């Protein structure tokens, strides 16, 4: 299943599989996002699977949000690995 990113009501929907083979598409899509908005909301309800490269891509967005003092939210019943990984960064 291919990676699909759509935008609806200021929330980005990430659908499919996020892994090493398509993480560049994900990163490219959100490359300059914080220069265009004060808040980024990504819904991962339809994210079927994610590998470590995909989790790292979310980490990069999270760190960018901290650096630029912008809000970053991940919503949905998605991958527990993402939430756990970002929580671990906060704890460090």
Domain extents for the chain? Answer: 4-91
Helices and strands of the chain, counted as H and E runs? 4, 5
Q: Which CATH number fits domain 4-91: 3.40.190.180, 3.40.50.620, 3.40.30.10, 3.30.750.24?
A: 3.30.750.24
Give pLDDT tens digits for 11-62: 999 999 999 999 999 999 999 999 999 999 999 999 998 889 999 999 999 9
Rounded-to-integer distance, Cα 24 and Cα 4, Å: 13
91 pLDDT above the threshold of 70: no
Q: Which two tokens stand for residue 52?
A: 């470590």
């Amino acid at each position: 299943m291919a990676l699909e990113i759509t935008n609806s009501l200021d929330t980005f929907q990430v659908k499919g599989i996020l892994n090493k083979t398509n993480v560049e598409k994900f990163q490219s899509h959100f490359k300059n996002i914080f220069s265009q908005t004060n808040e980024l909301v990504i819904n991962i309800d339809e994210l079927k699977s994610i590998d470590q490269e995909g989790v790292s891509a979310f980490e990069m967005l999270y760190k960018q949000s901290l650096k630029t003092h912008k809000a970053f939210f991940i919503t949905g019943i998605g991958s527990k690995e993402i939430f756990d990984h970002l929580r671990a960064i906060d704890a460090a």
